[in-house]
Amino acid sequence: MIVDLPDTTVSAVSKALVKVREEGGAVALGRVLTLVISSAGRADEAAIEAANDASREHPMRVIVLSTNPDGATRLDAEIRVGGDAGASEVVVLHASGETTTDTESLVTGLLLPDAPVVVWWPGEAPEDPHAAPLGRIGQRRITDAAASADPVQALARLGAHYTPGDTDFAWTRLTLWRAQLAAALDQPPFDPVTGVRVVGSSDSPSTELLALWLGLQLDVEVDLVVKEPGDGPNGIHRVVLERATGPIELSRDEGGVATLTQPNQPTHDIALPRRSLRDCLAEELRRLDPDELFGDVVRQEGDPR
């Protein structure tokens, strides 16, 4: 069900939420957090759909704020519940004109009481998420460097301004890669890694983070090889861990199947799919404490290239 509230106020939206719950029998007692999605221009329907899917694992209130500073001054809203909102309740705010000057106030009155707040920028994110108006109210702040015009530069800005509670989907997309590489090193022979090569697309911030993580964890020099987009699979292409007994190599093709080769062992095909927005969001919502390892990685000033 979708309830439209044209030319409204935050107070009227809050009252309408209560009315919708009372009439529809929906309650907010099971909601564990508030997710605020910030987008410039039109509301990001792909992000809303991902939040709806993730809400089946993390029941929540979703507040979507789309802003258009150049439009006429007004606030339009819609409330989505039931089949249009998964296991959450979604409030979409379309702010334009002068109503966009105080985004924090637009959202604050709709937050669930005594519940954590997570803020997500699915598109271009502010240079310093923690200092942004919406970022100040969030315990966790999620960005996606891959959605920026210059993904690697966006990641560098995040590292320069990192504050505990910040995270980025470029890091979340590495979970399966990190797990597979760690599992490979957890098998005999336990020779130390003497060198690392990471190959990936030049516009892939995940490739950059993987190289930084391996260099930090293994304390070795990392050879980062970047290729132009379209020259091979998107994102991470291949990781090679050099050891005295022979290299470990993990490579992925476009189909989401990775090939793992190790000395004196048969070659293995491993499912290593590209993670969807829903998967990334659901993983980040499982932990609301700061990700200290991500902070250590993204703050590294050295460029492995």
- pLDDT for the residue numbered 88: 79
> Where along the chain do its domains lie?
2-169, 175-271
- Average pLDDT per run of 10 along the chain, which is 305 residues long? 94 92 62 92 88 91 95 95 77 95 95 95 95 96 95 93 96 97 92 96 93 96 88 84 96 90 93 94 94 96 42
pLDDT, tens digit (0-9, with 9 covering 90-100), for 60-114: 999 999 999 999 999 999 999 887 667 678 999 999 999 999 999 999 999 999 9
* Contact of 171 with 297, CB cutoff 8 Å: yes
- pLDDT for the residue numbered 68: 93
Q: CA-CA distance, 299 to 301, in Å (whole number)?
A: 6
Helices 175-185 and 205-218, axial angle in degrees (round to 10): 30
Helix%, strand%, coil% for the chain, nearest 5: 35, 25, 40
Q: CA-CA distance, 44 to 179, in Å (whole number)?
A: 31
- pLDDT for the residue numbered 138: 97
- pLDDT for the residue numbered 34: 96
- pLDDT for the residue numbered 81: 87
Report the first-to-last Cα separation within the chain, whole angstroms.
52
- pLDDT for the residue numbered 188: 87
* Contact of 138 with 165, CB cutoff 8 Å: yes
- pLDDT for the residue numbered 304: 41
